Chain A
Amino acid sequence: MANNISQDQVKHVAELAKLELNDKQLDYFTDQLGDIIGLFETLNEVDTTDVPVTTSVSDQLNVMREDVADNWNQKEALLANAPETENGYIKVPTIIDESED
């Protein structure tokens, strides 16, 4: 029933979103996403000729404020949330995997 999206497309979308799916997940996500995308398709029934898009319902537009820093002197508390730190810096693995050729 759910052929609105293929397994290859789901794999591609997962890659774009920096997610990794195992085979089982790929199976059920493909079915589920297919169903939901089928629901999305019902919007084609609606005539939206000359209808503008709505991306915000705020009554405020283009609000300006002074560019002033506040609540900024909290380096230690911030670093305490980092998974790995060294000498006051956040530590990450190498960008290029050196274990491979």
Chain B
Amino acid sequence: MNYFDKDLTSLHDDLVNKKITAEELTKQTFANMKQTDQTTQAFLNLNEDEAVRTAQEIDKAGIDPENLLSGIPVAIKDNLVTKGLTTTAASKMLENFKPIYSATAVEKLAAKQTINVGKTNMDEFAMGGSTENSAFKVTTNAWDKTKVPGGSSGGSAAAVASGQVPLALGSDTGGSIRQPASFNGVVGMKPTYGRVSRWGLIAFGSSLDEIGPITRSVKDNAVALSAIAGHDDHDLTTSTKEVPDFAAELNEKTTVKGMKIGLPKEFIGEGVDEDVKNAVLAAADKYRELGATVDEVSLPHNKYGVAAYYIIASSEASSNLQRFDGIRYGYRADDVKNLEDVYVKSRSEGFGDEVKRRIMLGTYSLSAGFYDAYFKKAAKVRTLIIRDFQKVMEDHDFIMGPVAPTVAFSIGAEISDPMTMYMNDILTIPVNLAGLPGMSIPAGFSNGMPIGLQLIGKPFDEETLYKAGYVFEQNTDFHKKTPELGGQA
């Protein structure tokens, strides 16, 4: 089974009508995955035995006709802990780590009778934008095996885009769901900060991290977010706001008529590739044609987002990653003479270069004499970035722009140049700093590579983004194109 011509609704119908059993679906999913993953390399660890067992149990209990997710195979980014199933965050540090509990988002998906087929590749500890920082393998873009899948949720996005699974979970600290979704031509939602519990997400930047779904269609994404969202006593930053049924109002009556959309001039300015810019302008025209208004707005502090982010995210990371000390779990270096050696050698051998870079940047930003100049300054600029968004949102329903300045770049092209890699996040980072929901949807192609359109909403207003994304999808054909998987067809 590949999922190019199927969505959750059609799969569900087949399962309910017994055209296929959950067990057959799961087995076919693995057969396809094993073949396609020889090129895509999206998975770090398959969960085959348990997945088939779970599918058999679901078949025995019967597919729930009211639950679109019942019997559906899903993939999980490897920084979400899964009980008893090796979870590495793509780091040598956690190569043999078997969690004793599952992340809340994983539990919630399982409670909806989904079937976890395996863990997807990523940049180590979610630090990076190409998945090349994985300690274990290089994932390829579904559209061109010489290109990166984006990152850090590159495995999840490539798995969905190459038809391996209909739904995968990712995490997004500075663009790590939206950018790989954009690079692979699929739908990726970073929900509002506090919408989804971070319990069991291996922490990177705790004031920025958010878990969200990657799917091939907007409606499938909406179904998945409703399933994983909500308050959790294990993460007290989660909101107590009620979780809507996001898919409920996505139908032929959904409209953008009367909606006011802001297009920040900074999002289509210098550094943004011409094809990407034109795709966004064409999308703006499409929204006008469909009855919305689009006008130019300004986010004057946007250009400082990358600097503020790399101070804040690295500071939080340097603190969060202190726990990896080679004592209670994780990698421990051999040839150690004393306890200090265990810490220093285990961390030096267990972490990759990008992780070390971030830890050092954070340690520096927080260190005596530099705290005010860096961390505190960045936290103030963050306030100004939030105010920019608030001002635009006062008289707009949502903001649109590109996800990334370019389409997917070649494997190896930017990995030795961290500054260039960091600047790729310029259009996604401010959304994390402000804690807003942001979604990537397919909106065009440049030399055969997908272009993503980013929709940014008010806090806890994912509903408007899903409606606007759904209407765009229904009136365009970009999402219908499927990759010719390199060497696999």
**How far is the CB of A61 from the nearest CB of chain B, in Å?**
10
Interface string of A64-101 (1 = CB under 8 A from B): 01000001001001101111100000101111110110
Check A93/B342 contact, CB under 8 A, given A39-B307, A54-B386, A74-B100.
Answer: yes
Considering only CB atoms and an 8 Å cut-off, how many residues of chain A contact the other chain?
56
The answer on a CB contact under 8 Å between A80 and B98 is yes
Measured in the bound complex, the distance between the Cα atoms of B434 and A63 in whole Å is 21
- CB-CB under 8 A from A93, the residues of chain B are 336-339, 341-342
Residue B31 CB within 8 A of the other chain: no
Q: Mark A25-48, 1 if CB is under 8 A from B, else 0.
A: 100010011011101101111101
Task: Tell me the bound Cα distance from A52 to B193 in angstroms.
Answer: 20
Report the Cα distance A5→B318, complex, angstroms: 18
Which of B7-15, B358-366, B473-481 forms contacts with chain A? B358-366
Contact partner of B376 among A21, A53, A60, A77, CB < 8 A?
A: A53
Q: Of B171-179, B230-238, B287-295, which stretch is located at the interface?
A: B230-238
Of B98, B193, B365, which contacts A81 at CB under 8 A?
A: B98
Contact assessment for B310 and A13 in the assembled complex, using a CB-CB cutoff below 8 Å: no
- Give Cα A67 to B364, complex, Å: 35
Q: How far is the CB of A24 from chain B (nearest CB, A)?
A: 11
What separation, in Å, do the CA atoms of A33 and B361 have in the docked complex?
Answer: 7
Residues 1-36 of A contacting B (Cβ, < 8 Å): 5, 9-10, 13-14, 16-21, 25, 29, 32-33, 35-36
Q: Which of B236, B311, B336, B363 contacts A16 (CB 8 A)?
A: B363
Query: B381 near A20 (CB under 8 angstroms)?
Result: no
Q: A39-B419, A56-B237, A77-B98 are in contact. Are A18 and B347 (CB under 8 A)?
A: yes
Instruction: Tell whether A96 pairs with B233 under 8 Å between CB atoms, given A32-B418, A54-B383, A77-B98.
Output: no
Q: List 15 A-B contacts (CB under 8 A).
A: A16-B367, A19-B351, A32-B357, A32-B418, A36-B310, A39-B419, A45-B304, A48-B380, A51-B380, A51-B383, A59-B239, A60-B239, A65-B236, A74-B100, A92-B339
In the bound complex, CA of A71 to CA of B233 (Å) = 14
Closest Cβ of chain B to A17, distance in Å, is 4
- B356 surroundings in chain A (CB, below 8 A): 17, 19, 29
Does B401 belong to the interface (CB within 8 Å)? no
- Bound complex: CA A80 to CA B374 (Å): 41
Contact of B311 among A32, A40, A97 (CB under 8 A): A40
Q: Which of B233, B351, B381 contacts A65 (CB 8 A)?
A: B233
Contact indicator B381/A48 (Cβ below 8 Å): yes
Query: Which of A14, A54, A59, A80 is B194 in contact with, Cβ under 8 Å?
Result: A59
The answer, yes or no, to whether B348 is at the interface (CB within 8 Å) is: yes
Q: Which residue of B lies closest to A64 (CB)?
A: B236
Give the docked Cα–Cα distance between A60 and B347 (Å). 34
4 A-B pairs closest in CB distance = A57-B435, A83-B332, A53-B379, A81-B329
> Residue-by-residue, is B322-365 near A (CB-CB < 8 Å gives 1, otherwise 0)?
00011111111000111101111101100101001101110111
Chain B residues near A100: list those with CB within 8 A: 337
Minimal beta-carbon separation of A18 from chain B (angstroms): 5
Distance from A80 Cβ to chain B, minimum over Cβ atoms (Å): 7
Would you call B301 an interface residue if the criterion is a C-beta within 8 Å of the partner chain's C-beta atoms? yes
Q: A16-B367, A19-B359, A95-B338 are in contact. List 12 more A-B contacts (CB 8 A).
A: A20-B345, A20-B348, A42-B307, A46-B304, A53-B382, A57-B193, A58-B237, A81-B96, A82-B328, A83-B331, A83-B332, A94-B339
Chain A contacts for B367, CB-based, 8 A: 13, 16
B136 adjacent to chain A (CB < 8 Å): no
Q: Does B97 contact A (CB under 8 A)?
A: yes
Q: Would you call B56 an interface residue if the criterion is a C-beta within 8 Å of the partner chain's C-beta atoms?
A: no
CB <8 Å contact, A77 and B100: yes
Q: State the CA gap A16–B344 with chains docked (Å).
A: 10
Question: A81: which B residues are within 8 A, CB to CB?
Answer: 96-98, 100, 328-330
B4 at the interface (CB under 8 A from A): no
B3 at the interface (CB under 8 A from A): no
Minimum Cβ distance to chain A for residue B54 (Å): 20
Determine which of B193, B311, B330, B336 lies in contact with A58 in the assembled complex, contact meaning CB atoms within 8 Å: B193
| Contact (Cβ within 8 A) A60 B380 | no
The verdict on B422 contacting chain A, using a C-beta distance below 8 Å, is yes
Q: Judging by beta carbons under 8 Å apart, are A19 and B344 in contact?
A: yes
Chain B CB count within 10 A is highest, among A18, A42, A52, for A18
In the bound complex, residues from chain A placing their C-beta under 8 Å from that of B418 are 32, 35-36
Q: What distance in Å separates the Cβ of B94 from its nearest Cβ neighbour in chain A? A: 9
Of the candidates A18, A78, A82, the one whose C-beta lies within 8 Å of that of B343 is: A18
Given contact pairs A57-B207, A81-B328, A83-B326, A48 touches B377 in the complex (Cβ within 8 A): yes
A60 touches B344 (CB 8 A): no
Contact A59 B363 (CB under 8 A): no
Q: Is the C-beta of B456 less than 8 angstroms from some C-beta in chain A?
A: no
Within 8 Å of chain A (Cβ to Cβ): is B378? Answer: yes
